[in-house]
Amino acid sequence: MYKRVKTHDLVIAEEEKAKRASELVIANEEKGKRADELIIAEEEKAERADELVIANEDKAERADELIIANHEKDKRVAELIIANKEKEKRASELIIANKELVFQNGEKQKRADELIIANKKLAYQNEEKEKRAKELSIANIELAFQNDEKEKRAKELSVANKELQFQNIEKEKRASELILVNKEQEAFSYSVSHDLRAPLRHINGYVDLLLSRFYDSLPEKGRHYLDNIADSSSKMGTLIDDLLQFSRLGRQEKQLVDLDMNIIVHDVLVPIKHDNSERNIKWHIAKLPHVYGDQALLRLVWTNLLSNAVKFTHTREKAIIEINVLDENDSFIFSIHDNGVGFDMQYAQKLFGVFQRLHPTDEFEGTGIGLANVHNIILRHRGRTWAEAEPDKGATFYFSLPKNKEN
Amino acid sequence: MDGLRTILLAEDNPKDVELTLEAMAENSLANHIIVVKDGVEALEYLRCQGKYKLRKTGNPALILLDIKMPRMDGIEVLRNIRSDDKLKRIPVVVLTSSREENDLINTYELGVNAYVLKPVDFKQFIEAVKQIGSFWAVLNELPPERSQ
């Protein structure tokens, strides 16, 4: 079957093909036409694309510009925000500043008030100052006067100083004179010791030889005269010895130590009691203090005073001798009271002089040097000596010694 | 020793010399006593010089020395004696009227053997001379003399 259709059909298909080819030519022509048209369209399209590109470029440009503009805007906005914040800050600062100002104003007011008060005070003070200035002016005048006085006094002092200088020179002169006098005194006592005693010794020696060798050939009167010569020269020997002792005591350096007066009095009394063992003497001795003094010198004081008390009570059947002490502030006052013959107070100032005697030698022996030594020694201890008595009613001898070491 | 020991008495006062010699006689001190009138003469005797150039050598048993003498005093004599090797052992007794402390100190420092104060009372003086003489010139043993 199929082949039969084909031939027929082929003719027809050929026809058809031709038709279709012509149609295709036509179509191709059409297509060319359309391709041209398309090219044109394409060209137009390219043109339009170019235009679009340009437009796009423009758009992009505009977009860029917009972006930039937007950035600008953002920046400005940010700036505005910052500016706003600044403003806010400033505003708050201003608020604070305002408050501060208000406060400061208050303070100023306060200060102003204070200043007013201060001004018033100042005004008052100024018045005071003026017053004082006036007073000062018066005081200045006073001072000027006082200065004049001072100058006057200074001149007087200068005169007094010169006087003092002169007196010092005089004192030095006197001191060196005193040293000289002391040396002379030493030479004197040396001379007394040696030169005065030698002839006395010779008198004694020859009187003695005369009496021992030629006693039998001497008349009674002659022996009596020789006795008196011997007696006098021996007395003179004692006087010289006493005088020497007195002079030595005056020159002797004193050594101050702590002394128990009880011990000194006890020691001094031992030989006195021994020498007067046949006598009836009642001793009353108070408890005595310690003193500062020279032991040897104060022993001599007690020896003299106690021997005197014994001596001047020898006419009494019962002698009473009392030793007492009085504590008187800065010194001790020692007293020796006896119930002896006493003396008349009108001669009291003679008592402590060298070789002064108130009683005849044949009644009471002694040269009269003892109390002079006592006076001398106590004086050298910066103390005093005195006595109270009544004839036939006993005597009391006193001496004081300062308590402090510096004497 | 012939039993007569020599005593040198240095004393310037003739009355003191006489009284001392009398006191010696009273005490039967039969010593040979040489009297010199001052310190210079005392040293001349001791050193066999001057008028004692020809004396028999030998030191006295005792020197009785007064302090206050012309030319040279007793202290100076003592100083010379104690610093002289041949003389320094001689016993020296100061017999003086002076009780001066300085004299006591000086003589003892120079090595005096005794210091006796001439008593004013003649009986005491005789007693003193007796004791000095009998002790120093009789009782006391002397050191041997230095040979020349």
CATH code of residue B18: 3.40.50.2300
Q: Chain B: nearest CA to A171, how far in angstroms?
A: 29
Residues of B in contact with A240 (CB under 8 A): 120
Q: In which domain, by residue range, is A333 found?
A: 256-407
Q: Does B133 map to a domain?
A: yes
Within a domain: residue B5?
no
Q: What is the structure's pLDDT at B2? A: 46
Distance of CA A355 to the CA centre of its chain: 56
Asked if pLDDT for residue A229 goes beyond 60, the answer is yes
Tell me what pLDDT residue B36 has.
94
Specify if A147 maps to a domain. no
Q: Please write the tens of the pLDDT for every residue from B127-144.
A: 898 888 888 888 888 887
Is position A394 within any domain? yes
pLDDT band at A236; cut points 50, 70, 90: confident
Which B residues, 12 through 41, put their C-beta within 8 Å of a C-beta on chain A? 13, 15-16, 19, 22
**Whether B118 contacts chain A with CB within 8 A:** yes
B108 touches chain A (CB under 8 A): no
Cβ <8 Å between A205 and B122: yes
> Would you state the pLDDT for residue A50?
78
Instruction: Give B100's DSSP letter.
Output: -
Angle between helices A197-214 and B14-26 (to 10 degrees): 40
Percentage of chain B surpassing pLDDT 70? 94
Do the Cβ atoms of B9 and B20 come closer than 8 Å?
Answer: yes
CB pair distance less than 8 Å for B120 and A207: no
Question: Which amino acid is residue A259, in one-letter code?
Answer: L
How many angstroms away from the CA of B66 is the closest CA of chain A?
11
Instruction: Tell me if A375 is assigned to some domain.
Output: yes
Choose among A198, A206, A209: nearest Cβ to B97: A198
Q: Is A263 contained in some domain? A: yes
Residue A190 lies in a domain: no
B82 domain-assigned: yes
Average per-residue pLDDT for chain A:
84
Integer Cα distance of A291 and A263 in angstroms: 12
First to last CA, chain B: 19
Counted domains in chain B = 1
Residue A389 inside a domain? The answer is yes
Q: Do B120 and A197 lie within an 8 Å CB cutoff? A: yes
Distance CA B104, CA A243 (A): 19
Contact A115, A109 (CB under 8 A): no
pLDDT in tens, A164-174: 888 888 888 88
Cα of first residue to Cα of last residue in chain A, in angstroms, is 193
DSSP category for residue B94: E
Number of domains comprising chain A: 1
Mutate to test the interface with A, among B24, B69, B99, B115 (most CBs of A within 10 A): B99
Cα–Cα distance between A293 and A403 in angstroms, integer? 10
Complex prediction ipTM: 0.77
Mutate to test the interface with A, among B99, B122, B125, B127 (most CBs of A within 10 A): B122
Q: Which of A69-83, A361-375, B9-23 has the lowest mean pLDDT?
A: A361-375
Range of the domain at B103: 10-139
Q: Quick: pLDDT tens for A110-124.
A: 988 888 998 898 899
Mean pLDDT computed over A278-282: 92
How many other CB atoms are there within 10 angstroms of residue A302's CB atom? Answer: 22
Rounded CA separation B87/B47 (Å): 8
What's the Cα-to-Cα distance from A205 to each of A200, A209, A214, A222, A229, rounded to whole Å?
8, 6, 14, 17, 11
Q: Which of A46-55, A202-211, B98-107 has the lowest mean pLDDT?
A: A46-55
Contact between residue A233 and residue A277 where contact means Cβ atoms under 8 Å apart: no
Q: Could you write out the DSSP letters of every residue in A56-125?
A: HHHHHHHHHHHHHHHHHHHHHHHHHHHHHHHHHHHHHHHHHHHHHHHHHHHHHHHHHHHHHHHHHHHHHH
Model confidence band, residue A190 (pLDDT cutoffs 50, 70, 90)? low
Angle CA A268–A307–A284, to nearest 5: 70
B119 touching A (Cβ < 8 Å): yes
Measured from the Cβ of residue B96, the count of other Cβ atoms closer than 10 Å reads: 27
Residue B104 lies in a domain: yes
Average pLDDT over residues A292-313: 91
Give the chain B residue whose CA is nearest to the CA of A186: B100
Q: Residue A195 has which token pair?
A: 């030169």
Residues of A257-272 as b/e, b for ≥16 C-beta within 10 angstroms?
Answer: eebebeebbeebbeeb
Chain B residue numbers with beta carbons less than 8 Å from the beta carbon of A244 are 99
- For residue A230, tell me if it sits in a domain: no
| CA–CA distances in Å: residue A148 to residues A140, A143, A152, A154, A160 | 12, 8, 6, 10, 18
8-state DSSP, A383: -
Residue B16 to residue A201, Cβ atoms within 8 A? yes
Under an 8 A CB cutoff, do B118 and A204 touch?
no
* Mean pLDDT, all residues of chain B: 87
Question: For residues A291 and A71, what is the distance between their CA atoms, to the nearest angstrom?
Answer: 121
B109 in any annotated domain: yes
Q: For residues A39 and A36, what is the distance between their CA atoms, to the nearest angstrom?
A: 5
**Residue A234 is nearest to which of B100, B120, B125, comparing CB atoms?**
B120
Q: Of A18-22, A98-102, A300-304, B41-45, which range is least confident?
A: A18-22
User: Band of the pLDDT at A5, cuts 50, 70, 90?
Assistant: low
The answer to whether the CB of A305 falls within 8 A of the CB of A374 is yes
| Strand spans (E) along A111-268 | 257-260
pLDDT given at position B40? 92
Contact A190 B96 (CB under 8 A): no
Question: How much is the average pLDDT of A276-294?
Answer: 92
- Measured between CB atoms, which of A200, A204, A209 is closest to B22? A209
Beta strands at B6-10 and B32-36: parallel, antiparallel or unpaired: parallel
Residue B69 is assigned to a structural domain of this protein: yes
Q: Which residues of B touch A195 (CB under 8 A)?
A: 97
Residue of A266 and A357 predicted with greater confidence: A266
CA nearest to B125 within chain A: A205
Window 190-249 of A, Cβ < 8 Å to B:
190, 193-195, 197-198, 200-202, 204-209, 233-234, 237, 240, 244, 248
Say how many C-beta atoms besides its own lie within 10 A of residue B19's C-beta: 24
- Closest chain B CA to residue A189: B100
Measured between beta carbons, the chain A residues lying within 8 angstroms of B98 are 190, 193-194
Q: B47 at the A interface (CB within 8 A)?
A: no
The Cα of A163 is separated from the nearest Cα of chain B by a number of Å equal to 41
Angular region, B96: left φ>0, alpha ψ -120 to 50, beta rest: beta
Task: From B26, B44, B60, B68, select the one nearest B136 (Cα to Cα).
Answer: B60
Q: Which residue of A has its CA nearest to B11?
A: A198
Whole-number Cα distances in Å, B33 to B4, B17, B60, B74: 10, 11, 9, 18
In a domain, A316, yes or no: yes
Q: Which residues of A touch B122 (CB under 8 A)?
A: 201, 204-205, 207-209
| Cα gap B67→A320, rounded to integer Å | 48
Kindly report the CATH number assigned to the domain that includes residue A277: 3.30.565.10
